Every structure is written in structure tokens, then in C-alpha cells.
């Protein structure tokens, strides 16, 4: 029995790649897939050999959100609330807390909670043919799995509200303009560029990158003075790393640093 049935998990060149693998449903989430994503994220978190992650989708879609085939017409009291809390929240929480850089390689449409998944990653590279879609409103739901939180912070209230209530596909080029995508790539080179980007980050001082993620997560809810104090605390930790010693030594010796991520 393979470890995962609805995703593919691969580690190459210190990069763990999670590929959502239900292409016939545009990689729509099932409970099994959500559980397997969380399990694979924990695996990547614990594996010292993994220093960066890539999340992508098999086939022509990135992820179409909740599998609507499993939706009931009249959900019972608390059903959706409990479903989100039990199945979606852990995935988004893991993505934001894992102290390794996570890149979404958005190969096609990212809709509903699939858009939330893309937005929860630290960085996004999108195929020029891909799009983000806040599909929730199109079926009478509200954005969930962190989409409201990510959108207002990434594009501001007015644009976030427009994106959420219009329910229209935002093409990759517009995502880049809005800052929702960091980079674009042609579809045929997307994965090569995403892997190269992830491998490049994996070769950097990834312990410090993890602390940077921790600091920026905290900065979202702190004052300036609190942020400066927290940065000072984390700087002390970073300065105790082998990577710091190596970084300074390499600078003095005028050579490229060889970081170990610790």
C-alpha cells in the first residue's frame, strides 16, 4: 500500500514536492487528500534533508477547492464549521508554521479553498495560463480556509472584497500586478523554474529563513516595537547557528558560503 493515494510526495535536491493528484477533478480536496497533505507537511517538517517545499497540482488544475461531489444539499448543524476546523484549518496552520520556505507552483486554476492553499504558501510562481478564483461566492459560500485573512493582508480591503464578491478568475498576469504572485512562468517551464527556485532557497541559510518566517508571521499582529524586540530575540538564535559562522567566514575568505540549515 503506497504511503499516499491522493498526493505524490517526492524529495529531490533537498526539496520536498507535494503534488495534489486527482487531475480528473482538478485536484479538488477530499478528506483523505487533506489528511495526506497534513501528513506530508509533517513529514517534510521533520525531515532534516528537506530544506524547501513545493506544492503543485497534477494535470491542468492546481486545486478546485472542496470536492463538490461530497457536499450534501442540506448540511446538518455545525457540519461545515466542524469540517473546516477539522480538515482545512490544520493544513493552513501547518503551511504557515512550517519553518521552511514553501513555494506554490500554480500550474492551473486555484479555486475556493484551492486558492486559500496557494495563498497560504510563502511564495507563488504561476503559469501564465493559471488563475486564482474565489469560487466560494459562486455557490453561496464565504471565503474560507484563510482566504479573507490572506487577501486583506496581501492586496488591501477594497481589492480583497472585490475579488471575493466578484467570484471571477484572476489571470496570472493580474495576480502578478496585485502581488498575489511573485513570479510567472510559461506553462512548459513552470516546474523547472519552480524547482530551481526551491533548490536555490534550499541552499541558503534555511535555519535563518525559518526564523524569518516566524518573525514575519508574528509581525502581522505586533507593534513596531514588539517586532524589533522579537527580531532581536531571533537574531540571537540565528547568531548561534553554524550557518552564521560559515556565512561570516565565507565573506572574509571571499568565497561562496556552504550553508547546512543549522
Sites of contact with ligand T3D (CB under 6 A): 25-26, 28, 64-69, 80, 83-84, 88, 109, 111-113, 133, 135-136, 138-139, 141, 144
Q: Supply the minimum distance, in Å, between the C-beta of residue 85 and ligand T3D.
A: 9
Q: How many CA atoms lie within 13 A of 215 on its CB side?
A: 21
Separation CA 262–CA 259 (nearest Å): 8
Q: Supply the minimum distance, in Å, between the C-beta of residue 9 and ligand T3D.
A: 22
Q: Supply the minimum distance, in Å, between the C-beta of residue 92 and ligand T3D.
A: 12
Separation CA 257–CA 262 (nearest Å): 13
Separation CA 28–CA 142 (nearest Å): 18
Asked if residues 113 and 20 have their Cβ atoms less than 8 Å apart, the reply is: no
Separation CA 123–CA 186 (nearest Å): 17
Q: In terms of Cα–Cα distance, which of 169, 170, 164 is closest to 152?
A: 164
Give the total residue count for the chain.
Answer: 262
Asked if residues 99 and 211 have their Cβ atoms less than 8 Å apart, the reply is: yes
DSSP SS3 for 258: coil
Q: Which three cell numbers stand for residue 7?
A: 498526493
Q: Supply the minimum distance, in Å, between the C-beta of residue 150 and ligand T3D.
A: 14
Q: Supply the minimum distance, in Å, between the C-beta of residue 194 and ligand T3D.
A: 21
Q: Supply the minimum distance, in Å, between the C-beta of residue 168 and ligand T3D.
A: 10
Q: Supply the minimum distance, in Å, between the C-beta of residue 34 and ligand T3D.
A: 9
Nearer Cβ to ligand T3D (59/203): 59
Nearer Cβ to ligand T3D (23/203): 23
Nearer Cβ to ligand T3D (47/82): 82
Nearer Cβ to ligand T3D (17/27): 27
Nearer Cβ to ligand T3D (129/222): 129
Nearer Cβ to ligand T3D (166/226): 166
For the chain, list the strands marked E by DSSP: 7-12, 15-20, 52-57, 61-63, 102-106, 109-111, 123-127, 131-133, 170-171, 183-185
Rounded to 10 deg, the angle between the 89-97 and 113-120 helix axes is 20
Nearer Cβ to ligand T3D (134/206): 134
C-alpha 261, offset from chain centre? 20
Amino acid at each position: 500500500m503506497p504511503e499516499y493515494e491522493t498526493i505524490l510526495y517526492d524529495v529531490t535536491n533537498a526539496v520536498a514536492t507535494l503534488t495534489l493528484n486527482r487531475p480528473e477533478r482538478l485536484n479538488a480536496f477530499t478528506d483523505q487528500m487533506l489528511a495526506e497533505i497534513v501528513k506530508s507537511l509533517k513529514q517534510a517538517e521533520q525531515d532534516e534533508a528537506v530544506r524547501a517545499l513545493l506544492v503543485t497540482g497534477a494535470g491542468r488544475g492546481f486545486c478546485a477547492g472542496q470536492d463538490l461531489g461530497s457536499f450534501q444539499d442540506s448540511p446538518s448543524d455545525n457540519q461545515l464549521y466542524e469540517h473546516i476546523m477539522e480538515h482545512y484549518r490544520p493544513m493552513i496552520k501547518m503551511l504557515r508554521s512550517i519553518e521552511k520556505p514553501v513555494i506554490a507552483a500554480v500550474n492551473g486554476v486555484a479555486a475556493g479553498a484551492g486558492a486559500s492553499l496557494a495563498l497560504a504558501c510563502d511564495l507563488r510562481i504561476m503559469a501564465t495560463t493559471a488563475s486564482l478564483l474565489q469560487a466560494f461566492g459562486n455557490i453561496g459560500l464565504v471565503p474560507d480556509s484563510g482566504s479573507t485573512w490572506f487577501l486583506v493582508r496581501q492586496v488591501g480591503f477594497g481589492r480583497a472584497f472585490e475579488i471575493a464578491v466578484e467570484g471571477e478568475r484572476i489571470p496570472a498576469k493580474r495576480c502578478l500586478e496585485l502581488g498575489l504572485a511573485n513570479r510567472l512562468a510559461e506553462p512548459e517551464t513552470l516546474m523547472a523554474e519552480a524547482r530551481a527556485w526551491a533548490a536555490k532557497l534550499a541552499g541558503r541559510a534555511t535555519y535563518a529563513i525559518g526564523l524569518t518566517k516566524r518573525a514575519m508571521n508574528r509581525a502581522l499582529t505586533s507593534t513596531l516595537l514588539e517586532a524589533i524586540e522579537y527580531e532581536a530575540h531571533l537574531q540571537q538564535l540565528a547568531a548561534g547557528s553554524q550557518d552564521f559562522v560559515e556565512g561570516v567566514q565565507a565573506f572574509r575568505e571571499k568565497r561562496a558560503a556552504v550553508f547546512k540549515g543549522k
